[in-house]
Amino acid sequence: MPKQAPASLAKAVWRGFRGRCPHCGEGRLFHRFLKVAHACEVCGEELFHQRADDFPAYLVIVMVGHAVVPAILALEAAYAPPVALQLAVWLPVTLVASLALLQPTKGAIVGLQWQAGMHGFAAAKQNRESCDLRGAPISGRPVRSKDAVQAVAKAF
């Protein structure tokens, strides 16, 4: 695959949201439902550095909660349906919406971490920024992981 310009933050997050590699946009980001692939099968970008942890779940809870709770309250105020009907409708809606948004949200967080060079992605980001579009190092030599760690340590 030919070298391409680094993806912008919006592009990397969108690619992650779609479940694609944030670098090339072609390879699959997930090996299983929420298990991030070790590396992209198309471009070889390492993805195991991600540390999304519980953040995607928190975002999904906030998004689904802000959509479902006002709908529940509006329906209750307008029609006052029985509690059993409310539970029969809103529990499945909440469950389906949460499961539908969980993987895309995690992908977006992984894309954000990749583009920002967070966690173990710092060396990859420094390599992306230190190479021209042909993949040749701008400084004359490729950046090693040790150099990237030292650069990040000096920044803090």
pLDDT in tens, 33-89: 999 999 999 999 999 999 999 999 999 999 999 999 999 999 999 999 999 999 999
HSE of 10, CA atoms in CB hemisphere, 13 A: 0
Q: Are residues 54 and 93 in the same domain?
A: yes
In a domain, 1, yes or no: no
Give the model confidence (pLDDT) of 96-117 as tens digits. 999 999 999 999 999 999 999 9
Q: Are residues 103 and 145 in the same domain?
A: no
Please check whether residue 68 is in contact with residue 90, taking contact to mean a CB–CB distance below 8 angstroms.
Answer: yes
Q: Are residues 106 and 137 in the same domain?
A: no
In a domain, 4, yes or no: no
CB neighbourhood size of 108 (10 A) = 23
pTM score, two decimals?
Answer: 0.80
Q: Are residues 14 and 81 in the same domain?
A: yes
Any bridge partners for residue 86, and if so which?
none
Q: Rounded CA gap, 151 and 129, in Å?
A: 13
The two three-digit tokens of residue 108, written as one number: 């977006």
Q: Are residues 110 and 127 in the same domain?
A: no
Task: State the total domains in the chain.
Answer: 2
- The CA-to-CA distance between both ends of the chain, in Å, stands at 35
In a domain, 3, yes or no: no
Q: Domain of 126?
A: 120-156
E strand map for 32-115: none
In a domain, 111, yes or no: yes
Q: Are residues 37 and 69 in the same domain?
A: yes
Please check whether residue 110 is in contact with residue 16, taking contact to mean a CB–CB distance below 8 angstroms.
Answer: yes
